[in-house]
Structure 1
Amino acid sequence: MYFSRVTLKLNQLPYVIQQKMQNSGPYAIHQWLWQLFPNQEKRTFLFREERISKDYQYYLLSEVAPLSNHQLFLIETKPYLPKLTIGMRLFFSLRANPVVFKNGKRSDVMMNAKYLIKQQGLKTNEIKICQNQAAINWLIKQSETRGFSLSTTNDQQVNCRVINYAQQQFIKKSDLKPIHYSSVDYQGVLTVTDVELFLETIYQGIGKSKGFGCGLFLIKHYQ
């Protein structure tokens, strides 16, 4: 596996391409990043977008090394093989698209929680707290079969918090309806419970909308 930091050369984008980026957002970026992997018919990478001042930066995890040069990007790549052990604690950052299924249909975890809360007649100021807890509960559920658990603090609270929630919309093609999805940014500390399973989780990503920049675990040792 390979981990890359890719910076978009925004000042070199023609006006037409800048407009495409504004209208198509993650879809356009996904297509451009795919250019870094020629002859790959199937997507073999995960990515995540970060805004650094005015720059657009992307973290990529891929099965094969991307091109070293591209007219749209500055590319930095290194081999990636985390050395993990059972019981190891890791700080993590994750952007995911948590969903639940109701009556056979996919539903945003946060909006589903808001709907249930309103049905219960809870106060408005309690909605965000309950929504965040629903998102964390989703990640806890995922962890049960993904080779990790969320660590707890001294007072036995889960060491994980929701940093940001965003509803996303973009147009894939002008003659199609807009695509909607949501993303939740998590930060916290996890414990490795199964090395092979967790490596598979890192490599394959977690949750839906991976093609739109969700699912990539960013990890580092936690002291």
Structure 2
Amino acid sequence: MYDSRMIYSAGNRHIEETESNSNGAKSFGRQRQYLKPKQKRARWKKMANLVRVTVGYEQLAEERIYDNYAWHKKAWTMFEHHHELKDRNSKREMDKGPTPFLSRYIQKSSHAVLLIVSEYSPLKPDWCGNEQWQMIEIDESYLTQDSYYFDLYANPTKAVKKPDNNGGFTKHGRRLTLMDTPSQREWLYRKGNSHGFQLVEDIPLRIEKPVNHYFNRKGKKGLHIGVRFQGALRVTNSCEFRDAFRRGIGTAKGFGFGLLMIKPAHF
């Protein structure tokens, strides 16, 4: 069955998720150091950085962090020192490409937690104190396992055609959120096929009720709907799976969806 912990491993260091709140979201516990005999240590290349930021609700109000778009803008302040990312933001929306980091926002009883995974090295912003900031490096060795437990908060959608004014359809159409459990389950199976993994049937897949996330972006109101998936997976294509870990799964990845939290599993 499910392990009660979710761990990101980074070589010899781990940040461990141990505490659950009433919403089922989990927080990370203290950072632990694991030492191996020096002669047996493998030299693995750093693949990504994991950041955990803890923010109290009073500070959220002071910083005007009211929705996922506000979180998104705050997360960007950690990467402003990368000049190539500044060039990216000057481009048209359709030319920008994927957001260079994945994030997830977890609300707890006394504070909120921001998790970020990125290939770019972040810097602690001025609005974040030293005691709020925790970062480790994730190396390639973590994605060499055959099976994992996973926790995914995603925006499961499907593309539908959008009529234009000439009796035809627009090029890009629009996306509709999948609201029923069978469609959400089918969506995750499809994503697994395209991202190098399949679900482990012996372990039940948990799908929580959809949650509305309203936001205000440049004076326009919007809505994303999030669904939490928990279960176990088996890797079928290591390259595609590593890419899913780095790039995320599903849509609205710039708004706190699609970050794949995993822990090695042994069935």
- In which range does the TM-score fall when normalised by the shorter chain? 0.7 to 0.9
- Residue equivalent to 1:122: none
Q: Any idea what SS the aligned residue of 1:80 has?
A: strand
Change (3 A) 1:82 1:150: farther
Gaps spanning 5+ residues in structure 1: where? Answer: 111-130
Q: Any idea what SS the aligned residue of 2:190 has?
A: helix
Q: Is the 8 A contact 2:56 2:110 kept in 1?
A: no
- Residue equivalent to 2:187: 138
User: Per-residue deviation at 1:168?
Assistant: 2.0
- Residue equivalent to 2:122: 66
User: Per-residue deviation at 1:9?
Assistant: 4.5
- Residue equivalent to 1:105: 174
Q: Is the 8 A contact 1:12 1:72 kept in 2?
A: no
Q: Is the 8 A contact 2:68 2:213 kept in 1?
A: no
Q: Any idea what SS the aligned residue of 1:207 has?
A: coil
Overall identity of the aligned pairs, in %: 28
* Counterpart among 229, 239, 255 of residue 212 in structure 1: 255
Gaps spanning 5+ residues in structure 2: where? Answer: 1-47, 89-98, 162-172
- Residue equivalent to 2:79: 37
Structure 1 segment 165-184 matched on structure 2, within 5 A? 165-174=210-219, 176=220, 178-184=221-227
- Report which structure shows greater RCO (CA 8 Å, sep ≥6): 1
| Cα deviation code 1:53-77 (max 9, x no counterpart) | 2211011101122114532352111
- Matching of residue 89 in structure 1 with residue 147 in structure 2: yes
Between structures 1 and 2, the one with greater helix share: 1
Q: Any idea what SS the aligned residue of 1:171 has?
A: strand
Using the size of structure 2 for normalisation, the TM-score is: 0.66
Using the size of structure 1 for normalisation, the TM-score is: 0.78
